[in-house]
Amino acid sequence: MDLSRLDLNKLDIVVLVGYFVAIVAYGLWLSRRVKSSDNYFRGERKFSWWIMMGQSFGTGTHAENFTAQTGKTFQGGFSMIWLQWKNMLATPFYWLLAPWYRRSERTTVGEIVEDRYGRGMAFFYTVFALTFFVFCQGVMLKGAAKVISIAIGENVSDDAVIIFMSIAFILYSFFGGLVSSAHANFIQALMIIVLSMLLIPFGLREVDGISGLRNNLPDNFFRLFSPEQGMGLFTIAMLTLNGVVGITAQPHMLTMCATGNTERSGRIGQTFGSFVKRICTIGWAFTGLIVAALIVKRGQNLSDAEHAFGYAVRELLYPGLTGLMIACVLAANMSTCSNFMVNTGALFTRNLYKEFLRPQADDRHLLRIGRLSGLGLTILGVLFALRVKNVMDGFMFTETISAFVGIMVLGGYLWKRANRYGAAAATIVSFGLYYFLNWQQMGQLKLVYKVDQSLVPFGWAMLAGFAALIIVSLVTRKEPQEKIDAFYDNLDRLSDATPEQMQNGQKPPARLYGKDLILVDLPGFFKAERWKDFFRRYREDVIGFFLAWGMVGALVLIAWLVANVGA
């Protein structure tokens, strides 16, 4: 059977065209609100909690997620869910981290790095961030192309999929900025949820239900933890470390956490929007099991495991539903690429153009540069997509480089003594040791190493990076005290204070409202004063953090039940 051909039904074409017209028109309609660079880059921080949830989930979920997850589960069983769930154990910390970005009062993470470490480190971070966005967009576009090329067939090339998708999100993002991106993300987030579950009932029917699923697959495919498949405690611990540290440096975190109308909107959006993705991951993993059983039952094979999701779309869905699924795949990518396009424009404009080329540029000029630079850098992402081979390896590469840069970002919040020299040393040492150890282990030097083969070098690189941050910071000159005091003073104050709460023109101390930040105060917890009125001062952190851990427990239980259904 030739798996490379499938013509779209007319009903599928109607669904696809209808989706593109509707989402582009909606985004362009919203763009009429954009009158300033702050509106374009941050939406003037007016998004409600439900928009923030949709933005977080939509931006954090893209085609390579379900392409890679379904492929890995197809190949290695349900325990491979931890490749996407690597941030599951990190998610409760999002509740604690989110206010950091809002209280910075900045437009980009690059500006936060400048406040903390100075202009030189901000320049380095901006280069990293722009590279991160280009790589991520390339991997996401390739992930969508892998699904759609199998689902539609050779009549539509990967390149055509990438270009068509890019034109759509560029149109509304170019004019509407974060306003169009965030609202379109909410609509597209609903479509991603449909995508995550749509294949399961059709697939179960095709493989004769749960009993057929179990009859066609080995028992180890139904384990939530499987050391023999490479998913033991060490692997999960390293993936979690990657998630906790890396998320702090990802350049779109400011829009994810700081563009809500209140601090709590940002917390809810980033934390619980991410939990929606964890739920959808169960659906992607289960779809991988279904495809594995279907392939065995039919006596077929797939040349590339990452074609599993596209194969399922092709083989299981009826006309109309195939078009809907393809629209959902495109929605997953367009939502993220749209957000990334706005963020690349913000980074280039605020941290390079305004900083080094036109410090006196007016707001209208900065808005124009933001649009044009976002467009240009997005085109680089499209070009990178044409060179990506393995989606999961590309995805993990972007996560890994974020973790190494995250050492300086996380360290800069947690430890006042951290300085620019320690930050530079941490980044150089962690990157250098990671590639040296992989080169020694693999016998060749490559840009991207397979995740399952590079976890030990990653662990040593992270340990060495944090050690370098501490040691070099202690033996070199401190950052100017007035700069450090101003940085932490912002973190100690309520960012969404009402006029009635203002004190002598200043925002009030967050502790008065139960919103002091536990992690920022962590180094001082050895002092008795830090424990005085603990719950009253940290009420918002404590309650949200424990609720989030309750969600983790519930999701792990659900995943275990799914893995053991019919056992």
Compute the distance between CA of residue 62 and CA of residue 253 in angstroms, rounded to an integer: 16
Residue ranges per structural domain of the chain? 10-19+62-482+541-563
Tell me the residue type at 474.
L
Q: Is the pLDDT of residue 560 over 90?
A: yes
Compute the distance between CA of residue 274 and CA of residue 286 in angstroms, rounded to an integer: 19
Place 295 in a pLDDT band, splitting at 50, 70 and 90.
very high
Q: Is the pLDDT of residue 154 over 60?
A: no
C-beta separation of 254 from 177 below 8 A: no
Residue of 239 and 448 predicted with greater confidence = 239
pLDDT in tens, 372-405: 888 888 888 777 766 655 555 666 677 788 999 9
Q: Is 379 exposed, middle or buried (0-12, 13-18, 19+ CB in 10 A)?
A: middle
Place 2 in a pLDDT band, splitting at 50, 70 and 90.
very low
Place 148 in a pLDDT band, splitting at 50, 70 and 90.
confident
CA 88: distance to chain centroid?
12
Q: Which of 31, 97, 86, 558 is CA-nearest to residue 342?
A: 31
Helix, strand, coil percentages (3-state) for the chain, rounded to 5, are 80, 0, 20
Q: For the residues 244-255, what does the mean pLDDT come to?
A: 90
Write out the DSSP string of 530-560. GGTTHHHHSHHHHHHHHHHHHHHHHHHHHHH
Q: Is the pLDDT of residue 207 over 70?
A: yes
CA 359: distance to chain centroid?
31
Name 401's bridge partners.
none
Instruction: Considering the domain delimited by 10-19+62-482+541-563, tell me its CATH architecture.
Output: Up-down Bundle (1.20)
Tell me the residue type at 104.
S
Q: Say what the pTM is.
A: 0.85
Tell me the residue type at 427.
T
Q: For the residues 6-18, what does the mean pLDDT come to?
A: 76
pLDDT in tens, 458-509: 999 999 999 999 999 999 999 999 999 999 999 999 998 888 888 888 899 9
Q: For the residues 341-362, what does the mean pLDDT come to?
A: 88
Q: Is 299 exposed, middle or buried (0-12, 13-18, 19+ CB in 10 A)?
A: exposed
Q: Is the pLDDT of residue 447 over 50?
A: yes
pLDDT in tens, 258-287: 889 999 999 999 999 999 989 999 999 999
Would you mind telling me the total number of residues written for the chain in this entry? 567
Query: What mean pLDDT is reported for the chain?
Result: 85
Q: How far is the CA of 189 from the CAs of 181, 332, 364, in angstroms?
A: 12, 7, 32
Neighbouring residues of 7: CB distance < 8 A, sequence distance ≥ 6: 152, 153, 155
3-state secondary structure of 404: helix
b/e code 232-258 from CB counts within 10 Å (16+ = b): eeebbebbbbbbbbbbbbbbbbbbbbb
Residue 443 CB coordination number (10 Å): 7
Q: How far is the CA of 452 from the CAs of 129, 226, 305, 393, 457, in angstroms?
A: 25, 13, 16, 9, 11
3-state secondary structure of 521: coil
Place 8 in a pLDDT band, splitting at 50, 70 and 90.
low
Compute the distance between CA of residue 333 and CA of residue 340 in angstroms, rounded to an integer: 11
